[in-house]
A and B are shown apart, each in its own frame.
Chain A
Amino acid sequence: MARIIVVTSGKGGVGKTTTSAALAMGLALKGHRTAVIDFDVGLRNLDLIMGCERRVVYDFVNVINGEATLNQALIKDKRCDKLFILPASQTRDKESLTVEGVGKVLEDLSKDFEYIVCDSPAGIEKGATLAMYYADDAIVVTNPEVSSVRDSDRMLGILSSKSRRAELGDEPIKEYLLLTRYCPQRVKLGEMLSVEDVQDILSLHLLGVIPESKAVLTASNAGIPVILDDKSDAGQAFSDVVRRYLGEHVTHRFIELEKKGLFNRLFGG
């Protein structure tokens, strides 16, 4: 049985798709067969971030409607043969998704894969609630600012009451906090919430902190999951996240302001 992970947030633009792509790639690179599904029907993005937009033939909705088989719709990643992408449909809307349809696709995928990453759309409407409905684990992506934190809190409420696990009275979904676009300088200046501030409000297990980084935009535009950019801080932070998710103990990085070396101090940095 596969472990189903939903990457969610409530608020848009906080880094869900970037996280889904990086996490899925990271799990696959560790040797786990992983599928990543774009639940943002009508606003397809994951294919761009994964760099497979020119290879999309069939999509998630086609599979739900029985117009294509899973094998026809899944796109194998060119960089890692353990990773498969199930793109969203661009020409439909979220109403095309049904509880039964999504359930069937996840059940079929579960036979073949170890991890299924569900990239949730923003909002708390149908696409988002279906993305999390079958989840075993939830990664709540949050930016260090008040509106994002509150939306995450709302999403956590929905996770604990409207998921299948909640409805069946099973063990609740495991919830993790991923703080993205973090900028220690701005925290120090009091312009941004700190890790502690966010933790104080959400009280969740912290999976990692991804620093604000130019590498993320560059990677997105190039269609390369940022985790593959192992020179960048964001790429390394995502690698840490994957290792932590898999149970390794990895110390948190990128939370504190880095001390400038003598060289930097003399010549400006």
Chain B
Amino acid sequence: MSLWVDQYRPRSLDDLHYHQGLSARLRSLAASGDFPHMLFYGPSGAGKKTRIACTLKELFGPGVEKIKIDQRIFLTPSKRKLEVNLVQSNFHIEITPSETGNYDRIVIQELLKEIAQTQQVDLNAKQRFKVVIINEADSLSRDAQAALRRTMEKYMSNMRIILCANSTSRLIAPIRSRCLLMRVAAPDSDAMSTVLDYVARRVGFDLPPDVADQIVEDAAGNMRKALLVLEALKMQSPDLSGNLSIAKPDWETYCHKVADLIVQEQTPARVMEVRAKFYELLSHCIPPTVILKTVAERVVERVDEALKADIMHWAAFYEVRMRVGSKKIFHLEAWVVKVMSLYKQFFYGMDLTGFD
């Protein structure tokens, strides 16, 4: 028995609850026998991976569900060992090259060549090709993407690639042009309520509509999050009655606290306080870009209209720097100082530059 989010995951294209048009298209693609490389993209929790799994089942039949997980070790030119987890069935293989950081190029090159050069031996297989699923394709390094691009053309007969990414912006154009782009949009609230209802029915309880609405609102289009919240809620207050509060993840609450601190007071002491909180968040392995985004959104909610654009602009500015640089805390603090300065200038109604 596992978590609901996994237990009631749709297994075939027919089970999918929303984006029926997309499902139909995938079904016809799978049936056509002319399956292209594909790039699934869309926000987190929209159902990309579920859809990929369903498509695979449509392509190869239930055999794809028999998977095994193992580790492969790759050797870098500098003799460092890289461990990569592989999930594979007879018909497909699934990798997350970003696990290896900078060395993803080696994984891509070696693994894909190896797969591409062996033909499908199972004569009963529905398709002559194998499928390689590359998760988190948007965090592939440029080298790795470049390595991918020739392989995709050359070994087309033996292999199809399905990329899965949050956005296409960080994929190089040649890759994008070689794939069929599939956008999996976040479900709208009706679709989400339907799914929640469906899960509740399957589990065997009644989900009050107002609770469902609350969850849907909180999840903001993230189906996985909605289901996790639902289960947490059901676990914590089994009868789902009375005054329910949707639990936010702790890091999010904490980020909001940080945002409040920034808005309340703009002093050096406060800068230090905020810094300590950022350290705490970072040490919980929350990605710094997520921290910056969450805090910035909260700050924007709480300041005057005139400041909003500026704050977001600087958040974007420092996010870029953060991605390029290596000391995340420097850039987080730089943003905080910037915001405090902006806020003060706004508060006193004038530009204080030159008053020191």
- Answer yes or no: do A and B interact: no
